Structure 1
C-alpha cells in the first residue's frame, strides 16, 4: 500500500520549489511532515530534518519511522544549520514557519554551512523584508516569490538561488521592493491586497500609539508614516 501524507497548502507550495531528486535540509522541521511528504512522492529525494527542541525532535523521529523513511530522512537535534556537516552534500535548505528575524539569524549564524547550497526556500510568518535583505547581501538572487492565503493567514514564500562564480548580478532593490517583495509587487494577487490592507490598519494603529506615548519616538514615527504611504500607494491599483 502506498502511503500518503496531507500537507498544508502553505507547505505544499514550499515543496513545489524543490527539484526532483532533491538533497535538502528542513530546518525547524517540527514533526518532519514536509520532508516525509517530499520523500513519499519522490523516492530519489533525501532529507535532513533539523529540530532544536527535544519534543518536536522525538515527534519527527516517530513520523519518519511511521512512514518507513529512515533510509531517506535523517532526523537531527541541534540549533539551526549546526545540524549539518560537510559530508551531507545538501543542495537546498528549507526554513519555513518562523519569523523573518529568526530566519535571518539562522542563515547568518550558519553561513559556513552554506558553501554547497544552491537554493534556499524561506517562508517567514512575519518580516519577510529581513530575509530578502539577507539574500541580497549574501550572494543569493531572489528568483521566485509567491503569496498564499490559508486559514485566514497570509504567508510569503521567497526562493533564492546562489550566484554562480563570476556572476555579476546585483539585485539593487528599493526599500519598497524589500518590504513588499519585488516579484509580488509585479503580480499583485488577492492575497497580496488582503495582506497589505490588514498591514495598513495595523500601521495606522502603531502610529496612533506612538503619538500618544509620553515621550514620542520621532524616528519611529517617521519610519511608520513613510511605510503607511508606501502601503497606500501599493493598494491604489486594486481592481
Structure 2
C-alpha cells in the first residue's frame, strides 16, 4: 500500500526503515534507483545493512544512522519522504523538528498507527495538502495512510478527524475501525459515569467524541 504511493523515479528517504524492505522492493521493481534507509538506532540499522547487502542493492539504497530527517543530506536530492509504522504525533514531531529538509520535498507518504487527527492538523497548518488516503485491514490490525504534497488546504473538523478521502470512500476497513472505536469510547464513558471520582471535563470530551463518531456512522 505504501509502495504504491511512491512515484516512479522518486528519490526517497524511508525514515525508520528497519530492514529496508520498502526501498529494496522499490529498487528491485524498477520504481526508484535511489533511497536513504534511515534509522535512529544501531540495531535496526544493522538489519538494513544486512538486507541491502543480501539483496545486492548497495549502489541504490544507502543505510544511514540519524534521528529522523537528520539522515537527509542536500546532495541526496530527496523529493519523497516515507514515514510508516509510527504514531501520528511522533511523525508530526519528526517533520516539525527539521522543516528545512522539507523545502524540496514533493510528496510525503505517512502511515500513522494512531494520532491521525494531530497529523492531518499539522499538515494543514504547515502548507501540505492531503492528496490521497488509504486504509486496509490485515491480521486484525487496521493500517491507515496519508499522502500529502505541498499546497494549501483547509479541512473541516470532520475531515481532520476521519480523513477527507477515507470519509468519502467509507470502505469496510474504515467502518470497522470506527465501529470498534465507538465501542471503546462507550465503555470509557460508562466506566467514568460509574466512577465517583471521574473528571467531568474528560467525561464531556469523551461524550463529544462519542457523538461525533455516531453522527459520522449514521450518515
Taking a change above 3 Å as real, the CA distance of residues 133 and 43 of structure 1, as seen in their structure-2 partners, is closer
Taking a change above 3 Å as real, the CA distance of residues 210 and 82 of structure 1, as seen in their structure-2 partners, is farther
Q: Which runs of 5+ in 2 are unaligned?
A: none
Identify the residue that residue 131 of structure 1 maps to in structure 2: 119
Q: Which runs of 5+ in 1 are unaligned?
A: 1-12, 164-169
What is the TM-score when the length of structure 1 is the normalising length? 0.88
Aligned equivalent of 1:140, options 128, 149, 160: 128
User: Aligned partners of 2:108, 2:124: CA distance in 1, in Å?
Assistant: 13
User: Aligned partners of 2:87, 2:199: CA distance in 1, in Å?
Assistant: 25
Two-structure CA RMSD over aligned residues (Å)? 1.3
User: Deviation of residue 53 (structure 1)?
Assistant: 1.3
Residue correspondences, number: 219
Aligned equivalent of 2:105, options 117, 127, 130: 117
Asked if structure 1 preserves the Cα contact closer than 8 Å seen for 2:26 and 2:32, the reply is no
Taking a change above 3 Å as real, the CA distance of residues 43 and 147 of structure 1, as seen in their structure-2 partners, is closer
Identify the residue that residue 201 of structure 1 maps to in structure 2: 183
User: Aligned partners of 1:149, 1:43: CA distance in 2, in Å?
Assistant: 25
Asked if structure 2 preserves the Cα contact closer than 8 Å seen for 1:20 and 1:45, the reply is no
User: Deviation of residue 209 (structure 1)?
Assistant: 3.5
SS of residue in 1 equivalent to 2:105: coil
